[in-house]
Structure formats: structure tokens, C-alpha cells
Structure 1
Amino acid sequence: LGVMPLLREHFTIVAPSLPGYTLSFTPGQARFGTEEIAECFADLMSELGYQRFAVQGGDWGAFIGSRLAARYPERVLGLHLNLLAVRRDPKIPAANEEEAAYLRHLAHWLKDETAYQSIQGTKPQTLAYGLTDSPAGLAAWVGEKFHTWSDGGISRDDLLANISLYWFTGAIGSSFWPYHARLHRPWPFESVRVPVGYAEFPKEILRPPRSLAAQAYADIRRWTVMPRGGHFAALEEPQALAREIIEFFAALR
């Protein structure tokens, strides 16, 4: 949330909690994948009176934002991302050495770093019982990702606040729903054709080269390699991310 005060002078901000996550979780509610969340957010913007709007996202927000942009290009003015929702297939042919190096890294990442995706996507309820019942287990499950995916800019208070939101709402199990949907559904969107900006943080989990990104995002207007930061850019480097967002959308006005 540290990035939001930096953006208020430039934008009217709508920052909904993802359905099924922490403050947007109710026991027994319908299960949501990224496709349903994108539709929910499109309806939300209509209800609020915004027929056209800009979108920014990382992590699942990158998938949701990309789905919104692909499905509603007439409404999305532009899309800014700090993670690219490109297909994760190391067997696709490489057109150059930069792509080949990325695909080798992708193969290594899929082998060594995606156990969490497999269990959250295939046996989400089994895992949910353990993490809902054990604060130490939940802290380990969440904390390991902050340790591995960040560039060292996460405060202890921010980490504990994140874990506490899952613990006190009992929402860790429902946060696995998008993983289950992603594993059992086709790719959620076609090529995105609205203007796209991308901030590449060096400790992001995957950083595909621009040539591969262009296969999913047809109109990349801005591509900035950031000096530091990781997967949790809004927490780690709020000022740098805010500056990128402001400058990208200013160029579209």
C-alpha cells in the first residue's frame, strides 16, 4: 500500500482486494480464477461509473490486468505491469541467444521453484487445512516466498502484516483458487493490443526478453530495467514503481 499515496495526485485509484483473498473472503463464496476476477473488476468499474480506465498489476494482477485488456480493449486505456503474463513453456523455439538463456532459466525455475504451485493447484484443500490450523506453518509458507522473491526491501512489519491478513481472515485456502483454475484451464487471454508499459525488476521470478513478451503484448510502449527490487515491487520499491506508472500513463494522455 506504500505506493498508493504516491499516485493519488495523478490518478483516481480503485484498488480492490482480490475475491477470495483476505478482506474479500467469505466462507462458502464462489471460487474465482483470474478470468472471473477480471469480469468482476470490469463490472466494478462500470458500477463506479468508469467506462474507460487504466490498469496496473503484478503477480496475479498481471494476469487479471492482461485479461481485462485483452477482453475489453475499448475500455482499457493502457496496461502497466511489473510481471509479464507470458506462457511458461521452456520447449518453445528460441529465436536468439537472449531467448535461449531465458528458456534455460525458465526450465530451471519450473523444476526447482514451483512445488508450491503444484500443491496449491492440485490439492489446495489439503494444504489449506494445515496452514489454517498452524500460524507457524502459514508464516513459513508465506515468508519463504518473501525471502526468495524479494531484493531485501521488505520490512518485518510488512511481512507480519501480510501473514496476519491471511491468518485472521482464514483466507489462505481460498487464495489457492486461482492456482487451481490456472492449472486446469486453457490460457486465459489472447494477445493484448492496448498500449503496454513494463518495469523489469531484477529479482522478479521470471523476466522474459522483450522479443518473447511481444508475442503476448503487441504494443509495448515502455520497457524499463529497474536497478533493484523484486516480485513485491510495490512494497520494496514504491517510489520507483510509482514513477514508472506515472510516466507511462502520462505519455498516453
Structure 2
Amino acid sequence: METFRVAVPQDDLDDLRRRVAATRWPDELDDAGWDYGVPGRYVRELADHWLHGFDWRAVERRLNAYPQFRTEIDGERIHFLHVRCPDPDAPAIILSHGWPGSVAEFLDVLGPLSERFHLVVPSLPGFGFSGPTRSRGWGPVRIAHAWAELMRRLGYRRYVAAGNDWGSTIAPELGRIAPDAVAGVHVTQLWTDTPGHLDDPTPDERAALDDQAWFEANMSAYHHVQAQQPQSLAFALADSPVGLLGWHCLIYREGLDPDFVLTNVSIHWLTGTVASAMRIYREDALRPVPGEPTTVPLGAAQFADDYRPFRRLVAARHRNVAAWNVYDRPGHFAAHQSPELLIADLGGFVDGLGL
């Protein structure tokens, strides 16, 4: 295990600026809006901010304010932040991010949470400062096994697993494979199977069906491509930072803080993990998470403008739902969009476990 600090060479930043400035922009219809995909107006605004307003060195300073390390687990390099609470007996939480995110998803909650908890925040294998993966199979199951080993090495015999996006798959899987170590699981998306039909759906279920039908028809292109042909797409995205930005903006829709968007996109670009990060979709398609239900206590914080689960189907995946709170505040990146609510929800869940 070695200490780590983020220090991107200036040549890499200069190359990024040259590539953004030299973008060959595609044509589009004048009235296209979002009807054909991410609009050029939105990407141009972000690209201009990338060139003239975004401060990567400020991002480095924020990340380097926390202790960081790298180690090797199961043949791959793993980067993680390890933020200790002043109380040595405080409970520990391992936080997992998703795609197209990074450990930067959690920067707004690390300080407040670390006042009460020890925090371990890894970069997923193939993402960010973990660097590109060199072997197959790094889907949620293998990642969960790596997290169990990481926590064992750090000396945590009992801890909470929490996550967002892919982290909301990895955290429950960690609880499934290491129930003696994982005291509870907290997620911001409680994934359930999408039913083709529900008899006598409730109003909430009808809204969820409508939401998921709209998402499948309008926003699921990234999932299908990355689950089938991530490497084919990677040639374009690894060569064009604005191409990468446009693709990530399938998820980073308008309304998000531009610096948050560009921080995460920059991490993918500057660490050379554009291709390897997308592979998690292909790996999950080839080796899906097993169907056995989890049994450890599970807490869900459901935010607005995000995935809506089907409550009657949750028991097939999770037998011990201990807390489920629904909020009218956004959103998919709750640790950044609604940090106070997430901090309170996660803290209250951990308190309820009696650790």
C-alpha cells in the first residue's frame, strides 16, 4: 500500500486545452433541442467553461486535502481515499460511486461525514486514479470481493457499505458476499427488475412504469452501447475530450453545476480510463449479479428525478429493508445535489444499526 497524491503533468493539461480548442463541431438542426441527443449549445457552453473558467488545479487541491492511497487487489491497482474520524471507535463506511462518476462525487459530503465516521472511498477498478484495468471480469461481483479485501486490509472487521449508481449494485453485493462484516447497506437507487406488466398497479407503480418506459425510449443508448460494444465507442471518446463530454452529458443533463460535470469528465480523460470505465457495463452483461436476495439491513434514500423502484418487487432482491425515505429534492448525484439530505439519511441509517 502506497500513499498517493493527484498531480497531473502540465503537459497533459495543455494537451487537453489544445484538443478542446481544436474541436471539430458536428452540425445539428436549428430546433433540435434534446430530440436527437445532447444539444450542441449545451456542450459548447461546457467546453467554453473548460477552456476559460474550469480550474483543474483547484480540483487537485480538494482531492489532496484527504489522505489517498493505492494498493493492488486481485491483480489490479485500486486507488482510495481513507478519511478517518477523530473518534477511533467510530463506525466505518465504504462509499462506491458509479459511471460516469468518480470519487469526486462525494467531495461535498466527506468533511461532514468524517466528523462521525471513518470513510473509505475507492475509485472503481478501471475508473479514475485506479487506472485502466488489465484483466476481464471487473463487474459488480468481482468489485465487491475486492472491497471486502480492502476493508480487511485496513483493519475494519465491521462496517457499512453505501453507494450511488453502480455503487447501488456493488454495496448490496458486498453485503451478500460478506454478511458477517457488513452491518448494513445504504443506497440511493434500489434497483428492481422492470416488469413487463403489473396487475392493478398503484399510482406510484404507474408513474414508475411510465418513467422507465420514457427512459428506455429516450436515454438508455449509453447502456446498450456500453453493454455490447464499449471498445468500439472508446476509439472516438479517447481521442476527443469534447466527444467524451458530449457522451457523458447523456447523464450530466442541464441543471448540474458545470464544475461538477467537468471535474468528473476531466478525471476520466486525464487518467486514461475512458475505455476501461465503460467496460463495467459489458462485464455486468456477461456476468450479472447473482439472484440471491440480500439479508443484511438495507436503507434506501430515493431522490427526485431519479430511478423509481417497484416496491412490491423489492423483496425478491432484498429481504431486510430497514429504512426507505423518499425526498422531493434532486437527484441522481445526491451527494453533490442534495448533500445535507444524504448526510442526514445515511447518518440516521447507521445510527439505527447500533454500531
Q: TM-score, normalised by structure 2?
A: 0.66
The aligned residue for residue 296 of structure 2 is: 194
TM-fit CA distance, 1:71: 1.7
Structure 2 distance, partners of 1:116, 1:105, is 17
Asked whether the 8 Å contact 1:90–1:106 carries over to 2, the reply is no
The correspondence of residues 28-177 of structure 1 with structure 2, limited to 5 A, is: 28-87=134-193, 89-91=194-196, 93-94=198-199, 96-97=201-202, 98-147=204-253, 152=255, 154-177=256-279
TM-fit CA distance, 1:93: 3.8
TM-fit CA distance, 1:234: 0.9
Structure 1 distance, partners of 2:213, 2:335, is 27
Q: Percent identity?
A: 36
Out of 278, 282, 290, the position equivalent to 1:180 is 282
Look up the SS of the partner of 1:227 in the other structure: strand
TM-fit CA distance, 1:107: 3.0
CA gap 1:111/1:173 in 2 versus in 1, 3 angstroms: same
The aligned residue for residue 75 of structure 2 is: none
Look up the SS of the partner of 2:108 in the other structure: coil
TM-fit CA distance, 1:100: 4.3
Structure 1 distance, partners of 2:345, 2:293, is 23
Q: Which has the higher strand share?
A: 2
Asked whether the 8 Å contact 1:32–1:178 carries over to 2, the reply is yes
TM-fit CA distance, 1:174: 0.5
Q: TM-score, normalised by structure 1?
A: 0.91
The aligned residue for residue 207 of structure 1 is: 308
Structure 2 distance, partners of 1:4, 1:50, is 18
One-letter amino acid matched to 1:233:
A
Structure 1 distance, partners of 2:112, 2:312, is 32
Q: Which has the higher helix share?
A: 1
Asked whether the 8 Å contact 1:83–1:200 carries over to 2, the reply is yes
Out of 220, 234, 242, the position equivalent to 2:335 is 234
Out of 15, 19, 26, the position equivalent to 2:121 is 15
Show structure 2 runs of 5+ residues with no match: 1-106
Segment of structure 1 superposing worse, 23-32 or 73-82: 23-32
Look up the SS of the partner of 1:218 in the other structure: coil
Structure 2 distance, partners of 1:31, 1:182, is 8
TM-fit CA distance, 1:213: 2.2
Show structure 1 runs of 5+ residues with no match: none
Structure 2 distance, partners of 1:49, 1:126, is 41
CA gap 1:228/1:2 in 2 versus in 1, 3 angstroms: same
Asked whether the 8 Å contact 2:132–2:276 carries over to 1, the reply is no
Summarize deviations over 1:35-57 as a string: whole Å, max 9, x none: 11111101111111112110111
The aligned residue for residue 220 of structure 1 is: 321
One-letter amino acid matched to 1:180:
R
Structure 2 distance, partners of 1:12, 1:94, is 45
Query: How big is the alpha-carbon RMSD for the aligned residues of Structure 1 and Structure 2?
Result: 1.8
Asked whether the 8 Å contact 2:145–2:177 carries over to 1, the reply is no
Summarize deviations over 1:12-68 as a string: whole Å, max 9, x none: 101111010011114635551111111110111111111211011110101100111
One-letter amino acid matched to 2:351:
A
RCO higher in 1 or 2 (8 Å CA, sep ≥ 6)?
Answer: 1
The aligned residue for residue 2 of structure 1 is: 108
Count of matched residue pairs: 247
One-letter amino acid matched to 2:201:
N
